[in-house]
Structure 1
């Protein structure tokens, strides 16, 4: 039987989060954090509300303003679980976020009043102000660095921005880059233009984050324990894992660029997928789509955009969903990483990319719901490690 030691650490503050008071921790009933690989992550916490003995006119949690928007909150879990002879220790930060709203549900019954607090990760702070800016003679990577530097100190950002000058370094006679959106929307637009991704994720130290803008990184053989079904004592998945194979997800892009001298259209071929193969039998491209955005791009950028589009569409062909008890599983699943699936047959066994994880925590219980994906059927290896 697994021996659990799971604790939750909350830090709250206006700018620099500090350990939450005991009264806040004691009032916490449950919390839920949804981590996503591309979209913004979010959280929801439910607290029990009670009025002070000396002041029955208001609830203590509301009067102190500790959980008011837009306070910053950091949720960290410390997991030390022994399963068999193995012991797993992790202390991941589930989210570094901003409280956006709270809901009050008063009750006539003593102890049944509730405060529900919700919020999103700190990338939200880049998405609050619409701007009109012009950037002359700056490459996309220099623009991104310039924007992110405004948030660097306040949110503890370590910038990891991939240089784009090797692809294209514009001057104002060739191209003038303008921003007519929020910083987040504009950075994401520049990422798409370079076939990059943009993400802000918590670092290992509370209060620090990594802002990555660049090519999607290769997924390496996972250190995450395999999700196991129908394997007796090695089974660690509570409910059945459901698999869905959608043959229409894979879309073959048709793209071209214009020759500068003749104006002739030059087709772009998908030479390879930039993503690591996780399936031995990738889904076939049943649909085709014309990428009209590549016509005026530099050829190397058009090639990257075409290959990236094909990869993104194909990698969603197979999705898997399920739930694990963290004590039984002995590990906190991480998004943007790989995980193995065992005991479900050769067609759907093997490695998957972790797209989304929802952590549901309350006293005596820690469940993780997950969504996995890959580009087709069939494992690429014969045997998975535990």
Structure 2
């Protein structure tokens, strides 16, 4: 692609293999979204009535949804980075009477899409949330999925003689239910090696290692193409959980949950005050350990960050690929918005001779609380 940047595309069922030369030569652009609950990719190919893709590969099922696995790897300065390991979910053909305008678009998502296909009904006798997660993720080890499950702070076992928890939905839907109950997040992160995927279930932790600062409005030192910020005064709220008194179990006691995140402390010196109050409605049928897990989970989850930012950059100018679920510094945006931010999502856009990224940032509070940023 570029000097020091190489793209590797692997396609195939189960264990993909390097794409043939005809596929690589027909590739127009690659887009990969990462950082959200589910990552995705899109490949655009130039086709014609005489191309190998149209006459042979496509009819033979080379890009068939669900059965086709795709790995996109970018080698930057000799270091391979697995952008995504996913499954094709959609294909779109756009014929054209104009020469060179016909296109084939392949869209897919990460391996978590396999967890959202089949609805299951199965019991989990004597299993807490951790054992349920390990049981659900065990079959996906065949696809290289490695579970990383963080146990809740308070175990909530139910004796099999009294009853048991059960699943009556897809694996992914049940996982999201467990995550919401504990204030956790769940996502599948591709890499670090090709064929490996990390299934993370735990608190929304961002790696505290700062990436090189995003610099704007500093002449030759600027390394981003665009950058903007906004502050939403209605983003934060206070959650109130109503619990019964421990003696009579009849007197409701409202307990406000602090609007802070244990694993995502404010990165601004002047935090934004919460503007809304909400009462929890899903605790009526919970036992005491379940209520405690809900309260602790809310503190783990924290509040929505009131300040958000978005922008774009050229990877060659920035010097490396910006990574999601980490922190990054911002310089040149002014006293109020300079400082460290959490990187929420990153979109990789690759074309012949071009590698750019769009990104979104967030934090709570104006004015940086760090005296110096990494360059």
Give the TM-score normalised by the residue count of structure 2.
0.92
Give 1:62's aligned residue: 58
1:143-175 deviation per Cα after TM superposition (whole angstroms, max 9, x unaligned): 11001001112x101111123484322213555
Give 1:79's aligned residue: 76
Residues 312 and 61 of structure 1, relative CA distance in 2, 3 Å threshold: farther
Contact 2:206 2:325 in 1 (8 A): no
After superposition, the CA RMSD in angstroms is 2.1
Matches within 5 A, 1:21-36: 21-36=20-35
Superposition deviation, residue 75 in structure 1 = 0.7
Contact 2:38 2:188 in 1 (8 A): no
SS at match of 1:152: helix
Matches within 5 A, 1:170-209: 170-173=158-161, 176-209=164-197
| Separation in 1, partners of 2:152, 2:279 | 25
Give the TM-score normalised by the residue count of structure 1.
0.89
| Separation in 2, partners of 1:100, 1:117 | 8
1:312 and 2:303 correspond = yes
| Separation in 1, partners of 2:48, 2:80 | 31
Mind listing any 5+ residue stretches in structure 2 that lack a counterpart?
A: none
User: Which residue, out of 327, 331, 342, partners 1:353?
Assistant: 342
Superposition deviation, residue 60 in structure 1 = 3.7
Give 2:212's aligned residue: 225
| Separation in 1, partners of 2:156, 2:50 | 63
User: Which residue, out of 216, 232, 241, partners 1:255?
Assistant: 241
SS at match of 1:233: helix
1:108 and 2:94 correspond = no
1:98 and 2:87 correspond = yes
Residues 248 and 173 of structure 1, relative CA distance in 2, 3 Å threshold: farther
Give 2:44's aligned residue: 46
Superposition deviation, residue 231 in structure 1 = 1.7
Residues 261 and 178 of structure 1, relative CA distance in 2, 3 Å threshold: farther
| Separation in 2, partners of 1:175, 1:78 | 52
Contact 2:129 2:178 in 1 (8 A): yes
SS at match of 1:92: strand
Superposition deviation, residue 225 in structure 1 = 1.2
Residues 62 and 352 of structure 1, relative CA distance in 2, 3 Å threshold: same
Contact 1:294 1:305 in 2 (8 A): no
Contact 2:44 2:104 in 1 (8 A): yes
Give 2:14's aligned residue: 15
User: Which residue, out of 223, 226, 237, partners 2:224?
Assistant: 237
Contact 1:270 1:306 in 2 (8 A): yes
